[in-house]
Structure 1
Amino acid sequence: CLTRGSLHHQRRPPVSPAPVFAALSAPSADVDMDQFTSGVEDTPIDPPIQAKGRLCSSSCCSFSYRVPTLRELYDRDRRLLRAIIVIVIFLNVPVLGYTLYPFMLFSTWIHESFHGLAALSIGGTVSWLNIYPDGSGLANTLIPIGTFQRAWVACAGYMGTAVVGGIMLMFRRTNLGARVGTCGMGLAMLLTCIFFAGNAFGLVALLLMGLLLSAAGWRLPTFWIGELYALLAATTCLNAITSIRVLFFITEANIGGVVRSSDAAVMQDATKIHAWIWASAWMVLGLWMTAMGVFITFETREKDSREAPEQYRGEDHVDLLLTTELA
């Protein structure tokens, strides 16, 4: 027996994540800003790490662990720091703030896509997926009757956004990962347009963004695709955290001209656990995945990159290093 239900993601009133980065807007005095745009991008820690191991029996993957200094973290994560600085500046300059609008739509698309994927994973179907100009979205699904099924689909949006943001951050130091990730997201958007887009704005927005991301991942130089990917990852993690705060104040919202319950309210109705508890759990997950993305990273071995053929230098045609950092 099947029942039709609509799951949605509400992003109004607009969430301003500026306080999250307020402390970052003024660099400390001991930071050499000349290094911000010079030198090798995201270079591995030197001196060598203190502990090593292998992820598999072959030599293709290995992991390493050490406690880095703040200076080392700065030297390695210039790409992420630049993305954060761009977000801070753009959020505090009204005219520039509009340039982050596509990134908000990107996060909404991830949220609604995970509602759809959750429905498909339990034998349901996705009728349509809408993205609206105010940044909200709606996924209409057909799922089997049951408390678990309803709760599983309802919680997938916020959880999926947090997980995707964290995983994207983990690959921010790999040029090949940034290129493949950007192309993959673009192609996934185009597939959404073909099979699930249900309104004109969503169709046009996803089509344009899908084409641009696919083209950027395919043609942009290594430096610029890394910058774009880091910005996508940072804004996705930011939205996974800041968009949840509205769930503490509203249980219903007007989405697409119809008043609908929030995801937290749906979870409360399905599980009898208060909506604030679910909202808090999703926020903790968002913070946790962001921390994991910052401190657990994949990167290219610098010595192997120097030994790579000239035509592949700067790309990741070498072994990957999984680094765990605890500051």
Structure 2
Amino acid sequence: MRPANQKREADNREIVLLVLLGFISILLWHSPYGGYLLYPFSILATWFHEMGHGLAAMAFGNDFERLVIFPDGSGYALHIGEGEPGRVSQAAIAAAGLLGPTVAGCLLILASRAHKMTKGALIALGVALIGSTLIWVRSTTGWMVLPALGAICLGLAFYGREQHRRFSVQFLGVQGCISIYRDFGYLFTEGGMMEGRMQMSDTGHIEQALVLPYWFWGGLITALIIVMVFYALKIAHRR
């Protein structure tokens, strides 16, 4: 068998493995005890989500005040701006939270292409987790889980074997890409409960800013997520 065919088969097996990991994770999230096994990754997904809101808010000139993660995995990013926010900025900040985990997941999958990129991705993620905790996180759950995950990422980057680093980056990437489907209904609702209070959903905020109904934006964001994951896998395994 020619080397090119061997590489193609190896890539196909890897894609199948990533899809299988995603499928198993979704099943575990919806099983009675699977949520406990994936709890740290649920907190990580919330961190991706809320950091997406916070960083987007900063990009539009707002102050990112704090990031709070509750024990049930919900959370919020508090950002403050001067004056009434514009419609475009309001919609973009809301969408950034929904797309943030997938963007981060796709970048991690792309980073698994090369040894140096894999190590660099783990270092960057570890530093971001610990640094953001010191700067913005203001909750016990965040303080307990995020620095621990950051330390594990740094430990793998500097002391882990290459195959372990590669698998870890791909696994974390998969968790980011599929995390939106943990609470898929959230995309297609105007609001939900957080710490016992009704809160407007991100697609509800986009509807409020851009008029079209929340289910339209939920469908559009779902399509964008599928496209991003497809091209991330395609580029990551391009030879």
Shared fold (TM-score, shorter chain, > 0.5): yes
Which residue pairs with 1:25 in the alignment?
A: none
Which residue pairs with 1:194 in the alignment?
A: 134
Question: What is the distance in 2 between the residues matched to 1:220 and 1:96?
Answer: 26
Which residue pairs with 1:263 in the alignment?
A: 202
Q: Which runs of 5+ in 1 are unaligned?
A: 1-43, 48-70, 299-322
Pair 1:77–1:109, CA change in 2 (3 A): farther
Contact 1:175 1:222 in 2 (8 A): yes
Which residue pairs with 1:153 in the alignment?
A: 93
Which residue pairs with 1:279 in the alignment?
A: 218
Residue 101, structure 1, aligned to residue 59, structure 2: no
Contact 1:80 1:230 in 2 (8 A): no
Residue 136, structure 1, aligned to residue 74, structure 2: yes
Q: Which has the higher helix share?
A: 2
Q: Which runs of 5+ in 2 are unaligned?
A: none
Deviations along 1:11-37, one digit per CA (max 9) or x if unpaired, are xxxxxxxxxxxxxxxxxxxxxxxxxxx
Higher mean C-alpha displacement, 165-174 vs 215-224:
165-174
Q: Determine what percentage of the aligned residue pairs are the same residue.
A: 24
TM-score by length of 2: 0.86
Question: What is the distance in 2 between the residues matched to 1:97 and 1:149?
Answer: 34
Question: What is the distance in 2 between the residues matched to 1:243 and 1:143?
Answer: 29
Question: What is the distance in 1 between the residues matched to 2:79 and 2:147?
Answer: 22
Question: What is the distance in 1 between the residues matched to 2:184 and 2:164?
Answer: 31
Alignment of 1:143-182 (within 5 A): 143-144=81-82, 145=84, 146-182=86-122
Pair 1:252–1:77, CA change in 2 (3 A): same
Report the number of matched residues.
233
Contact 1:104 1:135 in 2 (8 A): yes
Runs of 4+ off more than 6 Å:
none
Question: What is the distance in 1 between the residues matched to 2:100 and 2:45?
Answer: 10
Pair 1:296–1:121, CA change in 2 (3 A): same
What secondary structure does 2:81 align onto? strand
Higher mean C-alpha displacement, 123-132 vs 90-99:
90-99
Q: Which has the higher strand share?
A: 1
Instruction: Please give the root-mean-square deviation of Cα atoms over the aligned residues, in Å.
Output: 2.4
Question: What is the distance in 2 between the residues matched to 1:97 and 1:255?
Answer: 18
CA apart distance, 1:280? 0.8
Residue 75, structure 1, aligned to residue 33, structure 2: no
CA apart distance, 1:211? 1.5
Question: What is the distance in 2 between the residues matched to 1:258 and 1:241?
Answer: 22
Larger Rg: 1
Question: What is the distance in 1 between the residues matched to 2:150 and 2:140?
Answer: 15
